[in-house]
Amino acid sequence: MRRGLCVPAFLRRKAVPAGRRLWAVRPGAPFTRAQVVRHLEARKIGTRLLFGGNLVRQPAYRGRPYRVVGDLANSDFVMHQAFWIGVYPGLSTEMLDYVIETLHVWCCGSEFTDG
């Protein structure tokens, strides 16, 4: 899917070489993560936010001791901008093409008012 889709509004990264691809809305994009996720979900394309994001910002860590190294800017970015597009081996070429087309229409079209 990544070969068929190159949209400047998205950053695509892998945490580790064999890891899954993470999508993130680039700062300054003409839409938010919430908008694109709603758009995809409304078209039956599954998405997931990252579990926890920046864990030190989660309620479970309030009042608990923990150690922070650095400013956690990347963790905050992932927490607010990143999402996964659901894929699994049973997706056909037609299904993957639908995801690509849906993202192209969203990013290149006039659907930014969608949510």
Topology classification of domain 2-108? Aspartate Aminotransferase, domain 1 (3.90.1150)
pLDDT tens series, the chain, 115 aa: 555 555 667 776 655 565 556 788 888 888 889 999 999 999 999 999 887 778 888 888 888 998 889 998 888 888 888 898 888 899 999 999 999 889 888 777 645 444 4
Segments making up each domain of the chain, as ranges: 2-108
* Confidence at residue 114, expressed as pLDDT on a 0 to 100 scale: 42
Q: Which pair of structure tokens corresponds to residue 36?
A: 């694109």
* Confidence at residue 28, expressed as pLDDT on a 0 to 100 scale: 84
Of 103, 102, 79, 98, which is closest to residue 8 (Cα–Cα)? Answer: 103
* Confidence at residue 97, expressed as pLDDT on a 0 to 100 scale: 92
* Confidence at residue 88, expressed as pLDDT on a 0 to 100 scale: 85
* Confidence at residue 12, expressed as pLDDT on a 0 to 100 scale: 64
Give the predicted TM-score (pTM) of the model. 0.75
* Confidence at residue 98, expressed as pLDDT on a 0 to 100 scale: 94
User: Phi/psi of residue 82, each to 5°?
Assistant: -95, 155
Of 111, 106, 91, 93, which is closest to residue 23 (Cα–Cα)? Answer: 106
* Confidence at residue 50, expressed as pLDDT on a 0 to 100 scale: 81
